[in-house]
Structure 1
Amino acid sequence: MEKLKITIVQFRRRPLIDENLWNAISLVKNKTDIIVFSENWLSNKPIALNDYSYYLEKIGNILDANILGGIQYVYDNGYIKSVGMGYIDGKLVKICEKINPSKAVGERNYLVEGKYVKPIKVNSWYIGCVACVDIFYPEISRIHALNNADILYNPASISNESLALWHSTLQTRAAENVVYSIGVNNTNTVYPDNRITAGGSIVFNPHGDKIIELGSDDEAIDIILDYDYFNYVKNRWAFRDDLIKKYSIFYKNNFL
Protein backbone atom coordinates (compact mmCIF):
# COMPACT_ATOMS: atom_id res chain seq x y z
CA MET A 1 0.00 0.00 0.00
CA GLU A 2 1.28 3.45 -0.83
CA LYS A 3 2.44 6.16 1.51
CA LEU A 4 0.86 9.60 1.63
CA LYS A 5 2.76 12.88 1.85
CA ILE A 6 0.79 15.55 3.67
CA THR A 7 1.71 19.20 4.12
CA ILE A 8 0.30 20.85 7.25
CA VAL A 9 -0.09 24.63 6.96
CA GLN A 10 -0.62 26.86 9.99
CA PHE A 11 -0.39 30.64 10.09
CA ARG A 12 -1.90 33.79 11.52
CA ARG A 13 -4.98 34.93 9.68
CA ARG A 14 -4.81 38.48 8.32
CA PRO A 15 -7.79 40.77 7.60
CA LEU A 16 -7.84 40.27 3.80
CA ILE A 17 -8.70 37.00 2.03
CA ASP A 18 -6.18 37.50 -0.77
CA GLU A 19 -3.44 38.19 1.78
CA ASN A 20 -4.23 34.89 3.51
CA LEU A 21 -4.33 33.03 0.21
CA TRP A 22 -0.91 34.23 -0.92
CA ASN A 23 0.59 33.77 2.52
CA ALA A 24 -0.54 30.14 2.45
CA ILE A 25 0.91 29.66 -1.02
CA SER A 26 4.24 31.18 0.02
CA LEU A 27 4.62 28.79 2.95
CA VAL A 28 4.39 25.61 0.85
CA LYS A 29 7.86 24.81 -0.51
CA ASN A 30 7.75 21.18 -1.65
CA LYS A 31 5.75 18.96 -3.95
CA THR A 32 3.17 17.04 -1.93
CA ASP A 33 0.14 14.78 -2.24
CA ILE A 34 -2.22 16.85 -0.17
CA ILE A 35 -2.20 20.17 1.70
CA VAL A 36 -4.31 20.64 4.83
CA PHE A 37 -5.50 23.87 6.46
CA SER A 38 -7.14 25.04 9.69
CA GLU A 39 -10.46 26.67 10.55
CA ASN A 40 -11.40 30.00 8.94
CA TRP A 41 -7.89 30.54 7.59
CA LEU A 42 -9.33 32.51 4.67
CA SER A 43 -11.59 34.78 6.69
CA ASN A 44 -13.16 35.08 10.13
CA LYS A 45 -16.34 36.38 8.49
CA PRO A 46 -18.84 34.38 6.42
CA ILE A 47 -18.17 34.36 2.70
CA ALA A 48 -20.16 33.01 -0.22
CA LEU A 49 -19.79 29.26 -0.67
CA ASN A 50 -18.83 29.85 -4.30
CA ASP A 51 -16.03 32.21 -3.21
CA TYR A 52 -14.67 29.63 -0.79
CA SER A 53 -14.69 27.05 -3.58
CA TYR A 54 -13.02 29.51 -5.98
CA TYR A 55 -10.08 30.12 -3.65
CA LEU A 56 -9.55 26.42 -2.97
CA GLU A 57 -9.53 25.67 -6.67
CA LYS A 58 -7.10 28.53 -7.22
CA ILE A 59 -4.61 27.41 -4.58
CA GLY A 60 -4.89 23.79 -5.72
CA ASN A 61 -4.06 24.73 -9.30
CA ILE A 62 -1.20 27.05 -8.35
CA LEU A 63 0.43 24.47 -6.06
CA ASP A 64 -0.58 21.48 -8.22
CA ALA A 65 -1.79 19.54 -5.18
CA ASN A 66 -4.91 18.17 -3.58
CA ILE A 67 -6.33 20.53 -0.96
CA LEU A 68 -8.28 19.96 2.24
CA GLY A 69 -9.39 23.52 2.79
CA GLY A 70 -10.15 23.44 6.50
CA ILE A 71 -13.59 24.72 7.45
CA GLN A 72 -15.00 28.14 6.67
CA TYR A 73 -18.04 30.18 7.67
CA VAL A 74 -20.13 30.41 4.51
CA TYR A 75 -23.49 31.68 3.34
CA ASP A 76 -25.45 28.66 2.13
CA ASN A 77 -29.09 29.00 1.02
CA GLY A 78 -29.68 31.95 3.29
CA TYR A 79 -28.01 30.42 6.35
CA ILE A 80 -24.54 30.67 7.87
CA LYS A 81 -22.79 27.33 8.19
CA SER A 82 -19.28 26.14 8.93
CA VAL A 83 -18.41 24.01 5.91
CA GLY A 84 -15.33 22.07 4.86
CA MET A 85 -14.46 21.81 1.17
CA GLY A 86 -11.67 20.04 -0.66
CA TYR A 87 -10.15 20.25 -4.12
CA ILE A 88 -9.33 16.64 -4.95
CA ASP A 89 -8.11 15.36 -8.32
CA GLY A 90 -9.24 18.57 -9.97
CA LYS A 91 -12.74 18.50 -8.49
CA LEU A 92 -14.40 20.39 -5.64
CA VAL A 93 -15.92 18.17 -2.95
CA LYS A 94 -17.63 18.81 0.38
CA ILE A 95 -15.65 17.14 3.16
CA CYS A 96 -17.61 18.07 6.29
CA GLU A 97 -19.86 20.49 8.11
CA LYS A 98 -19.61 21.58 11.74
CA ILE A 99 -22.30 19.55 13.44
CA ASN A 100 -22.01 21.19 16.86
CA PRO A 101 -21.31 24.94 16.73
CA SER A 102 -19.18 26.09 19.66
CA LYS A 103 -21.08 27.33 22.69
CA ALA A 104 -17.93 28.85 24.19
CA VAL A 105 -17.40 31.40 21.41
CA GLY A 106 -21.10 32.06 20.73
CA GLU A 107 -21.36 30.23 17.40
CA ARG A 108 -24.76 28.88 18.38
CA ASN A 109 -26.15 32.39 18.06
CA TYR A 110 -25.59 32.51 14.30
CA LEU A 111 -24.39 29.15 12.91
CA VAL A 112 -26.80 26.50 11.68
CA GLU A 113 -25.98 22.97 12.79
CA GLY A 114 -24.39 20.93 10.02
CA LYS A 115 -24.86 17.35 8.97
CA TYR A 116 -22.50 14.40 8.85
CA VAL A 117 -20.42 13.95 5.70
CA LYS A 118 -18.71 10.66 4.91
CA PRO A 119 -14.95 10.23 4.43
CA ILE A 120 -13.47 11.20 1.08
CA LYS A 121 -10.88 9.22 -0.86
CA VAL A 122 -7.45 10.65 -1.67
CA ASN A 123 -5.24 8.24 -3.61
CA SER A 124 -5.91 4.97 -1.73
CA TRP A 125 -6.64 6.61 1.63
CA TYR A 126 -9.97 7.49 3.23
CA ILE A 127 -9.98 10.75 5.18
CA GLY A 128 -12.75 11.79 7.56
CA CYS A 129 -13.02 15.50 8.34
CA VAL A 130 -14.10 16.39 11.89
CA ALA A 131 -14.82 20.11 12.23
CA CYS A 132 -13.06 21.82 15.15
CA VAL A 133 -15.07 21.27 18.36
CA ASP A 134 -16.69 18.15 16.85
CA ILE A 135 -13.50 16.27 17.75
CA PHE A 136 -14.72 16.38 21.37
CA TYR A 137 -17.80 14.37 20.37
CA PRO A 138 -16.41 10.81 20.06
CA GLU A 139 -19.45 9.55 18.16
CA ILE A 140 -18.51 11.58 15.08
CA SER A 141 -15.04 10.05 14.86
CA ARG A 142 -16.49 6.59 15.49
CA ILE A 143 -18.85 6.99 12.56
CA HIS A 144 -15.91 7.93 10.35
CA ALA A 145 -14.09 4.78 11.50
CA LEU A 146 -17.16 2.69 10.70
CA ASN A 147 -17.04 4.23 7.22
CA ASN A 148 -13.44 3.01 6.76
CA ALA A 149 -11.55 6.22 7.54
CA ASP A 150 -7.78 5.75 7.72
CA ILE A 151 -7.21 9.38 8.79
CA LEU A 152 -9.16 11.81 10.97
CA TYR A 153 -8.54 15.41 9.92
CA ASN A 154 -9.49 18.11 12.43
CA PRO A 155 -9.25 21.70 11.13
CA ALA A 156 -9.54 23.84 14.23
CA SER A 157 -9.11 27.15 16.01
CA ILE A 158 -7.89 26.31 19.52
CA SER A 159 -6.89 28.79 22.21
CA ASN A 160 -3.70 28.59 24.28
CA GLU A 161 -5.37 27.29 27.43
CA SER A 162 -7.15 24.47 25.57
CA LEU A 163 -4.16 23.25 23.56
CA ALA A 164 -3.19 20.38 25.90
CA LEU A 165 -6.79 19.16 26.03
CA TRP A 166 -7.05 19.28 22.24
CA HIS A 167 -3.82 17.31 21.84
CA SER A 168 -4.90 14.63 24.29
CA THR A 169 -8.27 14.30 22.56
CA LEU A 170 -6.64 13.85 19.15
CA GLN A 171 -4.32 11.24 20.65
CA THR A 172 -7.27 9.35 22.10
CA ARG A 173 -9.23 9.50 18.84
CA ALA A 174 -6.22 8.05 17.01
CA ALA A 175 -5.80 5.09 19.34
CA GLU A 176 -9.44 4.22 20.01
CA ASN A 177 -10.31 4.23 16.29
CA VAL A 178 -6.92 2.98 15.02
CA VAL A 179 -6.43 5.90 12.64
CA TYR A 180 -3.93 8.64 11.96
CA SER A 181 -5.24 11.87 13.47
CA ILE A 182 -4.24 15.31 12.22
CA GLY A 183 -5.11 18.54 14.01
CA VAL A 184 -4.42 21.83 12.22
CA ASN A 185 -4.67 25.08 14.17
CA ASN A 186 -4.31 28.80 13.49
CA THR A 187 -1.44 30.75 15.03
CA ASN A 188 -1.73 34.01 16.96
CA THR A 189 -5.31 34.63 15.85
CA VAL A 190 -7.77 36.46 18.09
CA TYR A 191 -11.01 34.81 19.25
CA PRO A 192 -14.24 36.85 19.57
CA ASP A 193 -13.61 36.90 23.35
CA ASN A 194 -9.98 38.05 22.84
CA ARG A 195 -8.30 34.72 23.58
CA ILE A 196 -5.42 33.83 21.28
CA THR A 197 -4.96 30.68 19.23
CA ALA A 198 -1.71 28.86 19.82
CA GLY A 199 -0.65 26.97 16.70
CA GLY A 200 0.57 23.58 17.91
CA SER A 201 -0.78 21.60 14.94
CA ILE A 202 -0.13 17.93 15.62
CA VAL A 203 -0.22 14.42 14.14
CA PHE A 204 -0.66 11.07 15.91
CA ASN A 205 -0.26 7.62 14.41
CA PRO A 206 -2.82 4.79 14.87
CA HIS A 207 -0.93 3.61 17.97
CA GLY A 208 -1.49 7.00 19.57
CA ASP A 209 2.16 8.02 19.25
CA LYS A 210 2.94 11.61 18.36
CA ILE A 211 4.60 11.94 14.95
CA ILE A 212 5.08 15.69 14.92
CA GLU A 213 4.01 18.78 16.84
CA LEU A 214 4.42 22.28 15.45
CA GLY A 215 5.21 25.33 17.54
CA SER A 216 3.56 28.75 17.37
CA ASP A 217 5.28 29.99 14.20
CA ASP A 218 3.73 30.33 10.75
CA GLU A 219 4.98 27.32 8.81
CA ALA A 220 4.24 24.43 6.49
CA ILE A 221 5.58 21.00 7.49
CA ASP A 222 5.65 17.82 5.41
CA ILE A 223 4.94 14.41 6.93
CA ILE A 224 4.74 10.92 5.44
CA LEU A 225 1.96 8.57 6.53
CA ASP A 226 2.64 4.85 6.10
CA TYR A 227 -0.29 2.56 5.31
CA ASP A 228 1.71 -0.53 6.27
CA TYR A 229 1.98 0.83 9.80
CA PHE A 230 -1.77 1.49 9.85
CA ASN A 231 -2.34 -2.17 8.91
CA TYR A 232 0.17 -3.34 11.51
CA VAL A 233 -1.68 -1.60 14.34
CA LYS A 234 -5.09 -2.59 13.02
CA ASN A 235 -4.03 -6.25 12.97
CA ARG A 236 -2.47 -6.01 16.44
CA TRP A 237 -5.26 -4.18 18.30
CA ALA A 238 -8.89 -5.30 18.38
CA PHE A 239 -10.39 -1.85 18.93
CA ARG A 240 -11.49 -1.27 15.37
CA ASP A 241 -12.66 -4.84 14.76
CA ASP A 242 -14.73 -4.72 17.94
CA LEU A 243 -16.22 -1.40 16.91
CA ILE A 244 -17.41 -2.95 13.66
CA LYS A 245 -18.52 -6.33 15.08
CA LYS A 246 -20.04 -5.30 18.41
CA TYR A 247 -21.05 -1.65 18.24
CA SER A 248 -21.88 -0.76 14.64
CA ILE A 249 -25.56 -1.55 15.20
CA PHE A 250 -25.65 1.05 18.00
CA TYR A 251 -24.28 3.74 15.70
CA LYS A 252 -26.53 2.73 12.81
CA ASN A 253 -29.61 2.87 15.02
CA ASN A 254 -28.73 6.17 16.65
CA PHE A 255 -26.52 8.18 14.32
CA LEU A 256 -26.39 6.84 10.76
Structure 2
Amino acid sequence: MIQILLIYRFEFSEQFINLVYTAKDVLRLLKVAAIQLQAYPSQRETNINNCIQMVEEAAKQGAELIVLPELWISGYYLSKEEFQLFGEAPTGKTVGLFQDLAKNLGTVLVVPFVEVENEQLFIALAVIETTGEVITTYRKAFLWGREKDIFTPGERVFNPVETSKGKIGVLICADIEFPEPSRILALQGADLIVVPSVWSYGAETRWDIQLPARALDNTVFILGVNTVNEGSCGKSKLVAPNGEVLCEAPRDETSILIHDVDFSLIPKTRIDVPYLDDLDKDLYPATIKTKLPV
Protein backbone atom coordinates (compact mmCIF):
# COMPACT_ATOMS: atom_id res chain seq x y z
CA MET A 1 0.00 0.00 0.00
CA ILE A 2 1.30 3.44 -0.94
CA GLN A 3 1.36 5.93 1.90
CA ILE A 4 0.77 9.55 0.93
CA LEU A 5 2.06 12.15 3.33
CA LEU A 6 0.67 15.65 2.83
CA ILE A 7 2.46 18.06 5.11
CA TYR A 8 2.08 21.82 4.89
CA ARG A 9 4.09 24.58 6.48
CA PHE A 10 2.69 27.03 9.00
CA GLU A 11 2.85 30.40 7.23
CA PHE A 12 4.07 33.57 8.91
CA SER A 13 1.53 36.35 9.17
CA GLU A 14 1.63 38.82 6.30
CA GLN A 15 2.43 41.63 8.73
CA PHE A 16 5.56 39.83 9.94
CA ILE A 17 6.73 38.86 6.48
CA ASN A 18 6.48 42.42 5.20
CA LEU A 19 8.94 43.51 7.85
CA VAL A 20 11.55 41.22 6.35
CA TYR A 21 10.89 40.63 2.65
CA THR A 22 10.16 42.59 -0.44
CA ALA A 23 6.87 41.87 -2.15
CA LYS A 24 8.44 39.54 -4.71
CA ASP A 25 9.67 37.26 -1.93
CA VAL A 26 6.38 36.80 -0.09
CA LEU A 27 4.71 33.39 -0.18
CA ARG A 28 6.42 32.03 -3.27
CA LEU A 29 5.39 28.42 -2.82
CA LEU A 30 6.18 25.27 -4.77
CA LYS A 31 4.54 21.94 -4.02
CA VAL A 32 7.18 19.22 -4.37
CA ALA A 33 6.87 15.44 -4.20
CA ALA A 34 9.40 12.72 -3.39
CA ILE A 35 8.52 9.31 -4.81
CA GLN A 36 9.87 6.82 -2.27
CA LEU A 37 9.37 3.45 -3.91
CA GLN A 38 10.69 -0.08 -3.81
CA ALA A 39 12.88 -0.88 -6.80
CA TYR A 40 12.42 -4.55 -7.68
CA PRO A 41 15.75 -5.88 -9.05
CA SER A 42 15.72 -6.25 -12.85
CA GLN A 43 11.91 -5.90 -13.03
CA ARG A 44 11.68 -3.00 -15.45
CA GLU A 45 7.96 -3.12 -16.24
CA THR A 46 6.91 -3.59 -12.62
CA ASN A 47 9.05 -0.66 -11.54
CA ILE A 48 7.78 1.55 -14.36
CA ASN A 49 4.13 0.74 -13.67
CA ASN A 50 4.52 1.35 -9.93
CA CYS A 51 6.38 4.59 -10.54
CA ILE A 52 3.85 5.96 -13.01
CA GLN A 53 1.03 5.21 -10.58
CA MET A 54 2.83 7.13 -7.82
CA VAL A 55 3.74 10.07 -10.08
CA GLU A 56 0.14 10.38 -11.25
CA GLU A 57 -1.10 10.31 -7.67
CA ALA A 58 1.42 12.99 -6.65
CA ALA A 59 0.27 15.19 -9.54
CA LYS A 60 -3.35 14.59 -8.55
CA GLN A 61 -2.45 15.92 -5.09
CA GLY A 62 -1.09 19.09 -6.68
CA ALA A 63 2.65 18.38 -6.88
CA GLU A 64 4.38 20.69 -9.36
CA LEU A 65 7.88 19.19 -9.12
CA ILE A 66 8.16 15.41 -8.72
CA VAL A 67 11.45 13.63 -8.04
CA LEU A 68 12.18 9.91 -8.43
CA PRO A 69 14.96 8.04 -6.58
CA GLU A 70 18.25 6.83 -8.02
CA LEU A 71 18.20 3.53 -9.98
CA TRP A 72 14.47 3.13 -9.35
CA ILE A 73 14.01 1.34 -12.66
CA SER A 74 16.60 -1.40 -12.15
CA GLY A 75 17.36 -1.85 -8.48
CA TYR A 76 20.84 -1.38 -7.07
CA TYR A 77 22.51 -4.75 -6.54
CA LEU A 78 22.91 -5.88 -10.13
CA SER A 79 25.98 -7.00 -12.05
CA LYS A 80 27.49 -4.84 -14.77
CA GLU A 81 26.00 -7.16 -17.36
CA GLU A 82 22.55 -6.76 -15.81
CA PHE A 83 22.86 -2.98 -15.66
CA GLN A 84 23.84 -2.95 -19.34
CA LEU A 85 20.37 -4.25 -20.14
CA PHE A 86 18.97 -1.03 -18.68
CA GLY A 87 21.39 1.31 -20.46
CA GLU A 88 19.76 3.97 -22.65
CA ALA A 89 20.51 7.30 -24.23
CA PRO A 90 18.69 10.35 -22.85
CA THR A 91 16.52 10.07 -25.96
CA GLY A 92 15.61 6.47 -25.07
CA LYS A 93 12.35 4.76 -24.20
CA THR A 94 12.35 5.38 -20.45
CA VAL A 95 12.99 9.12 -20.54
CA GLY A 96 10.59 9.40 -23.49
CA LEU A 97 7.84 7.78 -21.46
CA PHE A 98 8.27 10.35 -18.70
CA GLN A 99 8.44 13.20 -21.21
CA ASP A 100 4.92 12.27 -22.25
CA LEU A 101 3.89 11.95 -18.61
CA ALA A 102 5.29 15.37 -17.66
CA LYS A 103 3.46 17.00 -20.55
CA ASN A 104 0.17 15.23 -19.77
CA LEU A 105 0.35 16.06 -16.07
CA GLY A 106 1.80 19.56 -16.41
CA THR A 107 4.58 18.85 -13.91
CA VAL A 108 8.36 19.09 -13.85
CA LEU A 109 9.88 15.63 -13.39
CA VAL A 110 13.37 14.62 -12.25
CA VAL A 111 13.90 11.11 -13.62
CA PRO A 112 17.06 9.10 -12.92
CA PHE A 113 18.02 6.47 -15.49
CA VAL A 114 20.94 4.26 -16.50
CA GLU A 115 22.72 6.03 -19.34
CA VAL A 116 24.97 4.33 -21.87
CA GLU A 117 27.38 6.10 -24.21
CA ASN A 118 30.21 4.45 -26.13
CA GLU A 119 29.73 1.28 -24.05
CA GLN A 120 30.22 3.23 -20.81
CA LEU A 121 27.49 3.24 -18.18
CA PHE A 122 26.53 6.29 -16.11
CA ILE A 123 24.11 6.84 -13.25
CA ALA A 124 22.21 9.76 -14.74
CA LEU A 125 19.05 11.81 -14.50
CA ALA A 126 16.94 13.95 -16.78
CA VAL A 127 15.05 17.10 -15.79
CA ILE A 128 11.86 17.24 -17.83
CA GLU A 129 9.79 20.40 -18.20
CA THR A 130 6.01 20.66 -18.14
CA THR A 131 6.16 20.82 -21.94
CA GLY A 132 7.79 17.38 -22.07
CA GLU A 133 11.17 18.82 -23.08
CA VAL A 134 14.35 17.45 -21.48
CA ILE A 135 16.01 20.67 -20.35
CA THR A 136 19.12 19.10 -18.85
CA THR A 137 20.75 15.80 -18.01
CA TYR A 138 23.26 15.11 -15.25
CA ARG A 139 25.64 12.23 -14.50
CA LYS A 140 26.55 11.23 -10.96
CA ALA A 141 30.00 12.64 -10.23
CA PHE A 142 31.01 10.77 -7.07
CA LEU A 143 30.57 7.01 -7.33
CA TRP A 144 30.32 4.91 -4.19
CA GLY A 145 31.86 1.52 -3.48
CA ARG A 146 30.86 -1.16 -5.98
CA GLU A 147 29.55 1.48 -8.39
CA LYS A 148 33.15 2.23 -9.37
CA ASP A 149 33.45 -1.24 -10.91
CA ILE A 150 30.35 -0.75 -13.03
CA PHE A 151 29.82 2.91 -13.88
CA THR A 152 31.87 5.83 -15.16
CA PRO A 153 31.72 9.05 -13.11
CA GLY A 154 30.29 12.15 -14.72
CA GLU A 155 32.24 15.35 -15.11
CA ARG A 156 32.44 17.33 -11.90
CA VAL A 157 30.55 20.29 -13.28
CA PHE A 158 27.64 21.49 -11.19
CA ASN A 159 25.21 23.95 -12.75
CA PRO A 160 21.67 24.70 -11.59
CA VAL A 161 18.84 24.44 -14.08
CA GLU A 162 16.21 27.10 -14.68
CA THR A 163 12.78 25.46 -14.72
CA SER A 164 9.29 26.89 -14.92
CA LYS A 165 9.04 26.07 -11.19
CA GLY A 166 12.26 27.76 -10.10
CA LYS A 167 16.02 27.39 -10.23
CA ILE A 168 17.04 23.98 -8.92
CA GLY A 169 20.26 22.05 -8.46
CA VAL A 170 20.54 18.32 -9.08
CA LEU A 171 22.90 15.89 -7.39
CA ILE A 172 22.77 12.11 -7.05
CA CYS A 173 23.28 10.27 -3.76
CA ALA A 174 26.99 10.36 -2.76
CA ASP A 175 27.39 13.75 -4.49
CA ILE A 176 25.72 15.33 -1.43
CA GLU A 177 28.36 13.85 0.90
CA PHE A 178 30.89 16.37 -0.38
CA PRO A 179 30.31 20.01 0.64
CA GLU A 180 31.57 21.54 -2.60
CA PRO A 181 28.86 20.54 -5.14
CA SER A 182 25.99 21.95 -3.10
CA ARG A 183 28.00 25.09 -2.34
CA ILE A 184 28.70 25.61 -6.04
CA LEU A 185 25.01 25.20 -6.86
CA ALA A 186 23.95 27.61 -4.12
CA LEU A 187 26.44 30.26 -5.22
CA GLN A 188 24.95 30.05 -8.71
CA GLY A 189 21.47 30.73 -7.39
CA ALA A 190 19.89 27.32 -6.79
CA ASP A 191 17.08 27.68 -4.24
CA LEU A 192 16.34 23.95 -4.04
CA ILE A 193 18.73 21.02 -4.49
CA VAL A 194 17.18 17.63 -5.22
CA VAL A 195 19.10 14.46 -4.42
CA PRO A 196 17.78 11.16 -5.86
CA SER A 197 19.48 8.38 -3.89
CA VAL A 198 19.84 4.74 -2.94
CA TRP A 199 20.95 5.23 0.67
CA SER A 200 21.67 2.20 2.81
CA TYR A 201 20.77 1.34 6.39
CA GLY A 202 24.47 1.30 7.25
CA ALA A 203 24.81 4.94 6.20
CA GLU A 204 21.52 6.10 7.72
CA THR A 205 23.23 8.39 10.24
CA ARG A 206 25.02 10.20 7.42
CA TRP A 207 21.72 10.65 5.58
CA ASP A 208 20.21 12.21 8.69
CA ILE A 209 23.20 14.50 9.23
CA GLN A 210 24.39 15.47 5.76
CA LEU A 211 21.13 16.60 4.17
CA PRO A 212 20.39 19.10 6.97
CA ALA A 213 24.05 20.12 7.03
CA ARG A 214 24.12 20.93 3.30
CA ALA A 215 20.85 22.85 3.61
CA LEU A 216 22.18 24.93 6.51
CA ASP A 217 25.66 25.36 5.00
CA ASN A 218 24.12 27.00 1.96
CA THR A 219 20.75 28.24 3.29
CA VAL A 220 18.83 26.40 0.57
CA PHE A 221 16.15 23.72 0.53
CA ILE A 222 17.30 20.11 0.11
CA LEU A 223 14.97 17.32 -1.06
CA GLY A 224 16.48 13.86 -0.58
CA VAL A 225 14.61 11.03 -2.30
CA ASN A 226 15.43 7.44 -1.33
CA THR A 227 14.24 3.92 -2.12
CA VAL A 228 13.04 1.34 0.39
CA ASN A 229 13.97 -2.31 0.91
CA GLU A 230 16.96 -3.84 -0.91
CA GLY A 231 19.00 -2.43 1.97
CA SER A 232 17.81 1.19 1.65
CA CYS A 233 16.73 3.17 4.70
CA GLY A 234 13.92 5.23 3.13
CA LYS A 235 13.36 8.45 5.11
CA SER A 236 13.06 10.71 2.08
CA LYS A 237 12.98 14.22 3.46
CA LEU A 238 12.65 17.90 2.75
CA VAL A 239 15.02 20.15 4.70
CA ALA A 240 14.59 23.91 5.17
CA PRO A 241 17.38 26.48 4.69
CA ASN A 242 17.95 26.58 8.46
CA GLY A 243 18.57 22.82 8.56
CA GLU A 244 15.16 21.92 9.98
CA VAL A 245 13.65 18.70 8.62
CA LEU A 246 10.21 19.85 7.46
CA CYS A 247 8.89 16.42 6.60
CA GLU A 248 10.18 12.87 6.36
CA ALA A 249 8.84 9.63 4.89
CA PRO A 250 8.82 6.39 6.90
CA ARG A 251 11.91 4.24 7.12
CA ASP A 252 10.54 1.10 5.47
CA GLU A 253 7.38 2.05 3.60
CA THR A 254 6.65 2.99 0.02
CA SER A 255 5.45 6.59 0.27
CA ILE A 256 4.67 9.76 -1.62
CA LEU A 257 6.00 12.71 0.34
CA ILE A 258 4.36 16.02 -0.62
CA HIS A 259 5.16 19.38 0.89
CA ASP A 260 5.05 23.09 0.09
CA VAL A 261 8.44 24.75 -0.35
CA ASP A 262 8.19 28.35 0.86
CA PHE A 263 11.00 30.13 -0.95
CA SER A 264 10.48 33.29 1.11
CA LEU A 265 12.26 31.45 3.94
CA ILE A 266 15.56 31.72 2.06
CA PRO A 267 16.11 35.50 2.38
CA LYS A 268 14.86 35.42 5.96
CA THR A 269 17.26 32.63 6.86
CA ARG A 270 20.13 34.45 5.16
CA ILE A 271 19.52 37.44 7.42
CA ASP A 272 19.71 35.23 10.50
CA VAL A 273 22.46 32.94 9.17
CA PRO A 274 24.62 34.98 6.76
CA TYR A 275 27.06 32.20 5.84
CA LEU A 276 27.10 33.01 2.14
CA ASP A 277 27.40 36.76 2.67
CA ASP A 278 30.32 36.21 5.04
CA LEU A 279 31.98 33.61 2.83
CA ASP A 280 35.62 34.34 2.00
CA LYS A 281 35.57 33.42 -1.66
CA ASP A 282 39.35 33.76 -1.83
CA LEU A 283 39.40 30.35 -0.16
CA TYR A 284 37.82 28.83 -3.28
CA PRO A 285 38.98 28.49 -6.88
CA ALA A 286 37.83 31.02 -9.42
CA THR A 287 35.16 28.67 -10.76
CA ILE A 288 33.02 29.21 -7.68
CA LYS A 289 33.74 32.89 -7.08
CA THR A 290 30.16 33.67 -8.00
CA LYS A 291 28.18 36.65 -6.78
CA LEU A 292 25.49 35.67 -4.30
CA PRO A 293 22.08 36.02 -5.98
CA VAL A 294 19.94 38.87 -4.69
- Do the aligned partners of residues 145 and 95 (structure 1) sit closer, same or farther apart at CA in structure 2, a change above 3 Å counting? farther
Alignment match, 1:25: 52
- DSSP-derived class of the 2:284 partner: helix
Higher relative contact order (CA 8 A, sep 6+): 2
Larger Rg: 2
Alignment match, 1:221: 257
Q: Which runs of 5+ in 1 are unaligned?
A: 190-195
- Do the aligned partners of residues 65 and 124 (structure 1) sit closer, same or farther apart at CA in structure 2, a change above 3 Å counting? closer
1:231 correspondence with 2:275: no
Residue of structure 1 aligned with 2:179, choices 127, 138, 148:
138
1:204 correspondence with 2:239: yes
- Do the aligned partners of residues 9 and 214 (structure 1) sit closer, same or farther apart at CA in structure 2, a change above 3 Å counting? same
Q: Do the aligned residues in 2 keep the contact of 1:95 with 1:117 (CA within 8 Å)?
A: no
Alignment match, 2:10: none
- DSSP-derived class of the 1:217 partner: coil
Q: Which runs of 5+ in 2 are unaligned?
A: 1-24, 76-82
> 1:94: Cα distance to partner?
2.4
For 1:8 and 1:237, locate their aligned partners in 2 and report how far apart those are by CA, in whole Å. Answer: 27
For 1:126 and 1:62, locate their aligned partners in 2 and report how far apart those are by CA, in whole Å. Answer: 22
1:112 correspondence with 2:152: yes
1:251 correspondence with 2:293: no
- Alignment deviations for residues 114-164 of structure 1 (CA, whole Å, 9 cap, x no partner): 022411123352111111111111111111111111111111001112112
Q: Do the aligned residues in 2 keep the contact of 1:135 with 1:141 (CA within 8 Å)?
A: yes
Q: Do the aligned residues in 1 keep the contact of 2:65 with 2:165 (CA within 8 Å)?
A: no
Alignment match, 1:73: 114
- Alignment deviations for residues 5-60 of structure 1 (CA, whole Å, 9 cap, x no partner): 00111110123323222212222241321111110112242421223321321332
Q: Do the aligned residues in 1 keep the contact of 2:184 with 2:288 (CA within 8 Å)?
A: no
Q: TM-score normalized by structure 1?
A: 0.88
- DSSP-derived class of the 1:47 partner: coil
Question: Counterpart of 1:205 in structure 2: which amino acid?
Answer: A
- Do the aligned partners of residues 62 and 123 (structure 1) sit closer, same or farther apart at CA in structure 2, a change above 3 Å counting? closer
Pairing of 1:2-41 with structure 2 (within 5 A): 2-14=28-40, 15-27=42-54, 28=57, 29-41=60-72
- DSSP-derived class of the 1:174 partner: helix
Identity across the alignment (%): 22
- DSSP-derived class of the 1:224 partner: strand
Question: Counterpart of 2:261 in structure 1: which amino acid?
Answer: L
Question: Counterpart of 1:6 in structure 2: which amino acid?
Answer: V
For 1:239 and 1:219, locate their aligned partners in 2 and report how far apart those are by CA, in whole Å. Answer: 34
1:159 correspondence with 2:200: yes
Q: Do the aligned residues in 2 keep the contact of 1:143 with 1:251 (CA within 8 Å)?
A: no
- Do the aligned partners of residues 212 and 251 (structure 1) sit closer, same or farther apart at CA in structure 2, a change above 3 Å counting? farther
- Do the aligned partners of residues 148 and 253 (structure 1) sit closer, same or farther apart at CA in structure 2, a change above 3 Å counting? closer
Output the aligned Cα RMSD.
2.0
Q: TM-score normalized by structure 2?
A: 0.77
Alignment match, 1:193: none
- Do the aligned partners of residues 205 and 79 (structure 1) sit closer, same or farther apart at CA in structure 2, a change above 3 Å counting? same
Q: Do the aligned residues in 2 keep the contact of 1:21 with 1:59 (CA within 8 Å)?
A: no
